[in-house]
């Protein structure tokens, strides 16, 4: 029994399919790389934002009056943000001095808008993401004012 003869394949057809396969793999790798870069940027900024909120709360908790607490907390937040290379135009810090009493707790909320539009993501990622960190700093019950 003889097998039917196959038509010969041309080298041009094989090269064309290899080009398409390479294109599909390249696009997938580009999207994967953009996603990894976005996750890295989000993780780095989340850690930095937690540090900003923590340091701002510590500085605000040492202030004797609520207005000084707001000023000290925001000033410290922007100093720490500069150390983490965060853009001050994208950072928002809110100090709530309502708990600035002996045994109370002071709250600082820091928000930061992360730009993602410069990543090679094939429009799979949003243009920007806003992260928020909140720190609750207890006030020493034996602290003199």
Report pLDDT digits (tens) over 93-124.
Answer: 999 998 888 888 999 999 999 887 877 766 76
The reply to whether 4 falls in a domain is no
The reply to whether 116 falls in a domain is yes
- Is residue 106 within 8 Å of 100, Cβ to Cβ? yes
The reply to whether 8 falls in a domain is no
The reply to whether 5 falls in a domain is no
Label residue 128 exposed, middle or buried (CB < 10 Å: 0-12, 13-18, 19+). exposed
The reply to whether 118 falls in a domain is yes
Total residues belonging to the chain: 145
SS3 130: strand
The percentage of residues in the chain with a pLDDT greater than 70, rounded to a whole number, is: 83
The reply to whether 47 falls in a domain is yes
Question: What predicted TM-score, i.e. pTM, was given to this entire model?
Answer: 0.76
Domain region containing 101? 15-138
Our count of domains for the chain comes to 1
The reply to whether 6 falls in a domain is no
The reply to whether 81 falls in a domain is yes
Q: Which value, in Å, is the radius of gyration of the alpha carbons in the chain?
A: 27
């Amino acid at each position: 029994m003889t097998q039917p003869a196959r038509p010969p394949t041309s080298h041009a057809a094989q090269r064309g399919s290899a080009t398409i396969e390479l294109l599909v793999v390249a696009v997938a790798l580009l999207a994967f790389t953009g996603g990894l870069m976005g996750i890295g940027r989000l993780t780095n900024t989340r850690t930095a934002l937690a540090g900003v909120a923590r340091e701002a709360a510590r500085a605000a908790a040492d202030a004797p009056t609520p207005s000084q607490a707001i000023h000290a907390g925001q000033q410290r937040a922007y100093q720490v943000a500069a150390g983490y290379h965060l853009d001050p135009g994208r950072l928002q810090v809110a100090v709530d001095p309502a708990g600035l009493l002996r045994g109370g707790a002071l709250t600082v909320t820091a928000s930061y808008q992360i730009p993602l539009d410069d990543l090679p993501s094939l429009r799979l990622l949003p243009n920007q993401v806003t992260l928020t960190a909140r720190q609750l700093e207890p006030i020493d019950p034996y602290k003199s004012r």
